[in-house]
Chain A
Amino acid sequence: MPNVTYIEPNGNQVQIDVPAGWSIMQAAMSNGVEGIEAECGGSCACATCHCYVESHVDAIPAAAENELSMMENVVAERKPNSRLCCQIKMTPELEGLVIRFPEAQS
């Protein structure tokens, strides 16, 4: 299973083998990574799984219109590498992906 590094708001790094097809949000939630709330469960309806993509930016499909508009609701600073990680599906190409969670989600 491809490996993803999650950086929690306090800087702690967590490495997780994420099954292909799971969302990046799902694996963080199932493994208790700090810094994510994901209130809506992954419907792109709440903006509480905000993350900064620190690697593989070009390998991830661009955000769709609904994700871009939902990102207007993020609480932490919105940066060029901001994404809602419920909308990123794990694929073998994302081996070694690094995801950072912001200070606040709500």
Chain B
Amino acid sequence: MFSFDPYSPAVDADPFPFYKTLRDEYPCFWSKEANMWVLSRYADIVTALNDWQTYSSAKGNLMTELPNRAGATLGTTDPPRHDRLRGLVQHAFMKRNLESLVEPIKQIAKETAAPLADMKQFDFISEFSSKFTVRVLWAALGLPLGDEALVREKAVLMVQSDPTTKAKGPEHIAAYNWMQDYAAGVIAERRKNPKDDLISHFSMAEIDGDKLDEREVLLTTTTLIMAGVESLGGFMAMFAYNMADYHDARRQCVANPDLLADAIEESLRFNTSAQRFRRCLTKDTELHGQVMKEGDFVCLTYGSGNRDERQYPNPDVYDISRKPKGHLGFGGSVHACLGTTIARISVKAAMEAFHQVVPEYRRVQEQLPWLPSSTFRSPMRLELARG
């Protein structure tokens, strides 16, 4: 009897065979382990993303939601409230407004890569991607320096879930609470001494003349920091994992760094770190002969939609010349990732600098320690060796 348990370490390690069975045999599947429906085909996921009236985010979007967060963040509100919140922050993340960050990000990448020149073998995550992502995020959000390592540690903890209890554990909740306190401190400081930065603007913003709800300001800021640190770092680790395993693709990118942009898109399709998000049905809905009930949760399996042969030919081949359009590596529709542009700029700059210092490398661990998370998929350590 087929089962799909997004909490199981087997799914953390390799979800793709499960996804294939889901797509081919159970396109609308009830997972009793996750207590929700699972949609796995590209077209069904995109239809659900577009139909936010039926597939609501207001009861949370993380597979294992954090307490008291739903309804107060971009990812956990529906239009029109969502669109107004997004309107307040989108401009800071637009391509045209991020150009001034390109050179500083390249500089951060060079400085972070330089110490690797003396290392034969290293953990990509602790020695490079973590250091890089916190510095980029601090530059983008204007966060006060000093706590970077601790903030990252908490961000990585708060996205995890416990595979045994299938819930957030006390350590995950504690990290989430810590992050809220940290965000509250930043918000208070910005209100006292406003700067021309995102958090200053957002913490004093109004929608239709009303100040934002304090919970919205706090939890949106908390989520921005979490997503900035964890999601950017998680994806970068997945990208390095692909570059380490697919030698031809890497050599092409080392020879011509412009190809990194295509390789990033293919990695977003092939094994994005944002694997699964959820929605909640606002009415009974029939799909593939199943009736899903109002109030049921539905998992949108982005990682599976990206491997759907109905959308992408030879989906299990990592092909950097594919130029996959419409992939779900950043989710999609109104809840598509806010940080798409800064993520693309950052990962490209980071890997270009990394490749200048470490052009030839391979993966050391046969089995990777995967993050225990029902939503995200990335390794917690990625040992690389030169040559």
Chain A contact residues, CB within 8 Å of chain B: 19, 21-23, 26, 29-32, 37, 39-46, 48, 66, 70, 89, 106
Cβ of B96 < 8 Å from any Cβ of A?
yes
Given contacts A19-B43, A39-B94, A41-B334, contact A29 B340 (CB under 8 A): no
Cβ of B46 < 8 Å from any Cβ of A?
yes
Size category of the binding interface on chain B = 20 to 34
| A-B residue pairs in contact (CB < 8 Å), sample of 5 | A22-B47, A31-B325, A31-B326, A40-B334, A106-B95
In the complex the two chains form, is A39's CB within 8 Å of B325's CB?
no
Residues of chain A lying within 8 A (CB to CB) of residue B46: 22, 26, 30
Cβ of B50 < 8 Å from any Cβ of A?
yes
Checking B323, B325, B335 against A41 with a beta-carbon cut-off of 8 angstroms, the contacting residue is: B335
In the complex the two chains form, is B90's CB within 8 Å of A40's CB?
yes
> How far is B78's CA from A104's CA once the two chains are assembled, in angstroms?
30
> How far is B93's CA from A106's CA once the two chains are assembled, in angstroms?
13
> How far is B312's CA from A31's CA once the two chains are assembled, in angstroms?
11
If over half of A's interface residues share one DSSP class (helix, strand or loop), that class is named, otherwise mixed; here it is loop
Which positions 294-335 of chain B face chain A at CB distance < 8 Å?
311, 323, 325-326, 330-335
In chain B, what residue has the closest Cβ to A47? B94
> How far is B340's CA from A26's CA once the two chains are assembled, in angstroms?
16
In chain A, what residue has the closest Cβ to B336? A41
Residues of chain A lying within 8 A (CB to CB) of residue B323: 32
In chain A, what residue has the closest Cβ to B52? A42
Checking A19, A22, A32, A43 against B325 with a beta-carbon cut-off of 8 angstroms, the contacting residue is: A32
Can you name 9 extra interface pairs (CB under 8 A) apart from A29-B326, A30-B325, A66-B84? A21-B47, A21-B50, A21-B51, A32-B326, A37-B95, A41-B335, A43-B82, A43-B334, A106-B94
Given contacts A29-B325, A32-B326, A39-B340, contact A44 B83 (CB under 8 A): yes
In the complex the two chains form, is A26's CB within 8 Å of B333's CB?
yes
Residues of chain A lying within 8 A (CB to CB) of residue B311: 30
In the complex the two chains form, is A43's CB within 8 Å of B341's CB?
no
Q: What is the CB-to-nearest-CB distance from B84 to chain A, in angstroms, rounded to a whole number?
A: 8
Chain B window 90-118, contacts with chain A (Cβ cutoff 8 Å), 1 for yes, 0 for no: 10001110000000000000000000000
In the complex the two chains form, is B95's CB within 8 Å of A39's CB?
yes
